[in-house]
């Protein structure tokens, strides 16, 4: 991913974390017991893990280790 | 007594793991003892790094905070960390690792001294880092004493419990060094991860399922807000995004980044860190919230009653009575109480061990302080050149003993509230120090004077907040006492949860001003920029 796209996705992740649209909503209860706001942030955490996986896959700073091994 | 027996068996087990785990590395030289010979594997690296970040505050405090404030706790403390910490490891941790391996750094201060071509300014950074780290170690001793007293039904007194926990931690840090500590942290993280899921299942069964409890909470005006975030302001919520920046600046995390055998070991940690956060924090927060429906557990009913009294009459009550009610309503032991109420004795015993694991998370901080002292002070001021590396390692071990004894003495003498407060603002302090790392790694024009400005500002700001909160008692819930107003607008206020600056937590202005100081002071001191040869070493 280009650096600008990484910066954009990171900024988007910061905005999505604020989720002001669920501020006062508890419903629907996901799986019958998980309040919407908590379920959102649990899903957000999984999404962050996916973002990290993409970063590791496409933007891994392997040059740091290669230079070290020179 | 069964619970106490399991906890003592657990303490014995971690001592064995720590002491014998350390024998896998040659410990005669400093790198072997303090950094496990830079040879930690990927799984231990992930679990130990995660365990190092999971202190008593994050495990017990999470459910206690959720008990009082609701589901907002997860968004405040977990999902923001799940983004910022792994991203920081990806961006900063990997570069710290590479520079450490290339130039032999063992502490962040060594890198700062080299990067900015300075000596005593590095000592200032060491001093501020060390002072901000000590409260955690003291709190761990206090937590150990309290937990052992609690699980033994008072048979083990506080002073003796604190002494036992201190001796165990000191023992495996002393003999096991970094590798022993990493193995203990790995074991503890596995315990946390296993316990969360088991506790949720058993408590759900005891409460007759969670769906009914949630519907009951939604039906009551007193508890329905706990299932949303309406009790906190968006500014307060936003402020918490800055707290995980502290993780990147914590010396024990920075030093741990140097222990990985290969750069590729960061990959699993970066990807799986958010999943580990989810696995530990979601059960902790959810159980803390659902405890508000556990009215058939008498000790939890007493807490809820104290909270209701505080909310209804808090403003009119004397300060001492408010403090009493706050202590009675505190939910830090709410998971313990839930398990006591709904789980069989074997799970309660396992919980005791998990709580012990949480309060013993001071091992990494003790080892980090010892590494910093021997590298940033002893070796820097000629100790290593004069006495040799073996003496340096022995000095590090002696420092571990002395530090533990001092922490134990302080824990016996000082009230816990002081250190709770200190650790709370230490997070803000470390967040404010994070521009040091960013500037050192990514901004060629940064100078040692910029670094000094950041360090002095951080120390001054933490001290000012501590003095402010010590001199102005916390008002009742919802109220705010203006401390500084401009044009009729309150700029700094004392509130029930601490201090706010225009509605934001102090960590936000502290970190932003820190970054600004680095920029302005470095720009004003171009002559202090390091030589081109030095900068070339940091082209990463």
Domain borders along chain B are 2-537
Question: Measured between beta carbons, which residues in chain B are less than 8 angstroms from residue A67?
Answer: 98, 102, 540
Average pLDDT, whole number, for chain B? 87
Which of B75, B275, B286 lies at the smallest CB-CB distance from A49?
A: B275
Amino acid B417: pLDDT: 59
Share of chain A above pLDDT 90, in %: 70
Give the chain B residue nearest A40 (alpha carbons): B75
C-alpha atoms less than 13 angstroms from C-alpha of A64 in its C-beta half-sphere: 22
* CB proximity list for A8: less than 8 A, separation 6 or greater: none
Which of A10, A20, A42 lies at the smallest CB-CB distance from B87?
A: A10
Give the chain B residue nearest A57 (alpha carbons): B267
Segment A21-39, tens digit of pLDDT = 888 888 899 999 999 999 9
Which of B224, B263, B289 lies at the smallest CB-CB distance from A65?
A: B263
SS3 B38: helix
DSSP B262: S
Contact A49 B271 (CB under 8 A): yes
Burial of B316 from C-beta contacts in 10 A (0-12 / 13-18 / 19+): exposed
Bigger pLDDT: A60 or B335?
A: A60
- Chain B closest-CA separation from residue A12 CA (Å): 11
* Cα–chain center distance at A10: 8
Contact B74 A42 (CB under 8 A): yes
How confident is the model over B397-425, as a mean pLDDT? 77
How confident is the model over B68-72, as a mean pLDDT? 91
DSSP B223: T
Amino acid B472: pLDDT: 86
Asked if the model's pLDDT at residue B478 lies above 90, the reply is no
Contact A26 B278 (CB under 8 A): no
- Chain B closest-CA separation from residue A47 CA (Å): 9
DSSP B440: H
Contact A35 B227 (CB under 8 A): yes
Question: Measured between beta carbons, which residues in chain A are less than 8 angstroms from residue B236?
Answer: none
Asked if the model's pLDDT at residue A69 lies above 60, the reply is no
> CA–CA separation, B376 vs B360, rounded Å?
25
Burial of A18 from C-beta contacts in 10 A (0-12 / 13-18 / 19+): middle
Segment B168-189, tens digit of pLDDT = 888 988 888 999 999 998 988 8
Give the chain B residue nearest A20 (alpha carbons): B234
The residues pairing with B501 across neighbouring beta strands, listed in sequence order, are B492, B504
SS3 B145: helix
* Cα–chain center distance at B298: 31
Range with top average pLDDT, B187-191, B306-310, B330-334, B510-514 = B510-514
Asked if the model's pLDDT at residue B457 lies above 70, the reply is yes
Least confidently predicted of A37-46, B35-44, B54-63? B54-63
Contact B211 A64 (CB under 8 A): no
- Chain B closest-CA separation from residue A19 CA (Å): 10
Question: Which pairs from A35-39 meet CB under 8 Å and 24+ separation?
Answer: A35/B71, A35/B214, A35/B227, A35/B228, A37/B71, A37/B72, A37/B75, A37/B227, A37/B228, A37/B229, A38/B71, A38/B74, A38/B227, A38/B282, A38/B285, A38/B286, A38/B289
Segment B357-374, tens digit of pLDDT = 776 777 888 899 899 999
Give the other-Cβ count within 10 Å of A62's Cβ. 11
Mutate to test the interface with A, among B62, B80, B83 (most CBs of A within 10 A): B83
Contact B214 A67 (CB under 8 A): no
Mutate to test the interface with B, among A38, A54, A64, A69 (most CBs of B within 10 A): A38
Q: Which A residues in the span 37-66 are in contact with B, Cβ-Cβ below 8 Å?
A: 37-38, 41-42, 44-46, 48-49, 52-53, 55-56, 60-62, 64-65
Contact B275 A41 (CB under 8 A): no
Least confidently predicted of B116-125, B245-254, B472-481, B525-534? B472-481
Evaluate whether B306 touches B325 at the Cβ level (below 8 Å).
Answer: yes
The residues pairing with B500 across neighbouring beta strands, listed in sequence order, are B493
- Chain B closest-CA separation from residue A41 CA (Å): 6
Amino acid B374: pLDDT: 92
Which of A34, A42, A56 lies at the smallest CB-CB distance from B271?
A: A56
* CB proximity list for B390: less than 8 A, separation 6 or greater: B28, B29
C-alpha atoms less than 13 angstroms from C-alpha of B201 in its C-beta half-sphere: 6
Interface membership of A10 toward B (CB under 8 Å): yes
Question: Measured between beta carbons, which residues in chain A are less than 8 angstroms from residue B214?
Answer: 29, 32-33, 35
Amino acid B85: pLDDT: 95
Range with top average pLDDT, B134-148, B174-188, B473-487 = B174-188
Amino acid B156: pLDDT: 84
Burial of B536 from C-beta contacts in 10 A (0-12 / 13-18 / 19+): exposed
How confident is the model over B151-156, as a mean pLDDT? 78
| A28 cis-preceded (ω within 30 degrees of 0) | yes
Which sign, positive or negative, has the C-alpha torsion B118, B124, B130, B135?
Answer: negative
Interface membership of A29 toward B (CB under 8 Å): yes
> CA–CA separation, B185 vs B179, rounded Å?
10
Asked if the model's pLDDT at residue A70 lies above 50, the reply is no
Give the chain A residue nearest B216 (alpha carbons): A33
Contact B218 A27 (CB under 8 A): yes
> CA–CA separation, B457 vs B333, rounded Å?
36
Amino acid B490: pLDDT: 87
Segment B431-452, tens digit of pLDDT = 999 999 999 999 999 999 999 9
* CB proximity list for B444: less than 8 A, separation 6 or greater: B529, B535, B538
Asked if the model's pLDDT at residue B408 lies above 50, the reply is yes
Bigger pLDDT: B383 or B309?
A: B309
Contact B230 A65 (CB under 8 A): no
How confident is the model over B44-61, as a mean pLDDT? 78
Helices (H), B414-506: 416-442, 448-471
Helices (H), A1-70: 3-18, 36-59, 63-69
SS3 B298: helix
Which of B94, B224, B228 lies at the smallest CB-CB distance from A64?
A: B94
Question: Measured between beta carbons, which residues in chain A are less than 8 angstroms from residue B278?
Answer: 42, 45-46
How confident is the model over B280-286, as a mean pLDDT? 90
> CA–CA separation, B1 vs B85, rounded Å?
40
Per CATH, the architecture of B2-537 is what?
Answer: Up-down Bundle (1.20)
Helices (H), B70-119: 72-73, 80-88, 94-103, 108-116
Amino acid B349: pLDDT: 77
C-alpha separations of A20 from A37, B143, B401 in Å:
10, 36, 49
Evaluate whether B288 touches B331 at the Cβ level (below 8 Å).
Answer: yes
Give the chain B residue nearest A7 (alpha carbons): B87
Amino acid B474: pLDDT: 76
């Amino acid at each position: 991913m280009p650096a600008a796209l990484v910066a954009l996705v990171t900024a988007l992740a910061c905005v999505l974390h604020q989720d002001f649209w669920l501020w006062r909503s508890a419903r629907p209860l996901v799986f019958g017991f998980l309040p919407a706001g908590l379920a959102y942030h649990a899903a957000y955490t999984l999404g962050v893990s996916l973002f990290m996986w993409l970063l590791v896959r496409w933007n891994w700073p392997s040059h740091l280790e290669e230079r070290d091994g020179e | 007594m069964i619970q106490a027996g399991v906890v003592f068996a657990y303490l014995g087990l971690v001592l064995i793991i720590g002491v014998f785990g350390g024998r896998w590395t040659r410990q005669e030289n400093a790198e072997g003892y303090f950094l496990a010979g830079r040879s930690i594997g990927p799984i231990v690296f992930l679990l130990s790094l995660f365990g190092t970040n999971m202190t008593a505050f994050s495990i017990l405090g999470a459910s206690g905070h959720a008990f009082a404030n609701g589901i907002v706790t997860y968004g405040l403390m977990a999902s923001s960390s799940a983004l910022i910490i792994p991203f920081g490891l990806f961006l900063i941790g990997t570069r710290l690792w590479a520079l450490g391996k290339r130039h032999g750094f063992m502490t962040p201060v060594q890198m700062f001294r080299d990067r900015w071509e300075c000596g005593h300014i590095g000592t200032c950074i060491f001093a501020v880092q060390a002072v901000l780290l000590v409260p955690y170690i003291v709190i761990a001793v206090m937590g150990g004493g309290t937990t052992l007293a609690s699980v033994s039904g008072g048979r083990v007194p506080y002073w003796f419990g604190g002494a036992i926990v201190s001796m165990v931690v000191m023992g495996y840090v002393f003999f096991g060094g970094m590798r022993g500590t990493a193995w203990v942290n790995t074991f503890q993280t596995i315990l946390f991860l296993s316990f969360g899921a088991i506790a949720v299942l058993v408590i759900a069964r005891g409460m007759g399922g969670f769906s009914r409890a949630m519907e009951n909470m939604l039906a009551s005006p007193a508890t329905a807000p706990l299932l949303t975030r309406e009790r906190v302001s968006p500014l307060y919520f936003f402020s918490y995004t800055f707290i995980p920046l502290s993780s990147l600046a914590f010396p024990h995390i920075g030093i741990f980044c140097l222990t990985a055998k290969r750069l590729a070991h960061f990959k699993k940690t970066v990807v799986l860190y958010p999943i580990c956060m989810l696995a530990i924090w979601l059960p902790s927060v959810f159980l803390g919230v659902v405890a508000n429906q556990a009215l058939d557990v008498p000790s939890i009913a007493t807490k809820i009653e104290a909270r209701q009294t505080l909310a209804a009459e808090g403003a009119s009550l004397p300060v001492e009575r408010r403090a009493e009610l706050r202590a009675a309503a505190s939910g830090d032991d709410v998971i313990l109480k839930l398990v006591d109420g709904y789980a069989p004795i074997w799970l309660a015993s396992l919980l005791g061990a998990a709580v012990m694991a949480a309060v013993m998370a001071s091992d990494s901080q003790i080892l980090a302080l010892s590494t910093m002292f021997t590298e940033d002070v002893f070796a820097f001021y000629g100790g290593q050149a004069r006495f040799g590396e073996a003496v340096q390692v022995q000095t590090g071990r002696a420092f571990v003993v002395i530090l533990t004894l001092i922490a134990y003495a302080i824990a016996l003498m000082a009230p816990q509230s002081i250190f709770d407060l200190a650790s709370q603002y230490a997070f803000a302090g470390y967040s404010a120090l994070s521009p040091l790392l960013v500037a050192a790694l990514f901004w060629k024009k940064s100078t040692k004077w910029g670094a000094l400005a950041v360090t002095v500002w951080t120390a001054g700001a933490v001290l000012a907040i501590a003095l402010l909160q010590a001199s102005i008692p916390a008002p009742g819930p919802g109220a705010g006492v203006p401390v500084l107003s401009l044009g009729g607008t309150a700029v700094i206020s004392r509130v029930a949860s601490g201090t706010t600056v225009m509605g934001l937590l102090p960590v936000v202005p502290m970190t932003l001003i820190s970054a600004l100081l680095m920029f302005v002071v470095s720009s004003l001191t171009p002559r202090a920029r390091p030589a081109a040869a030095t900068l070339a070493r940091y082209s990463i």
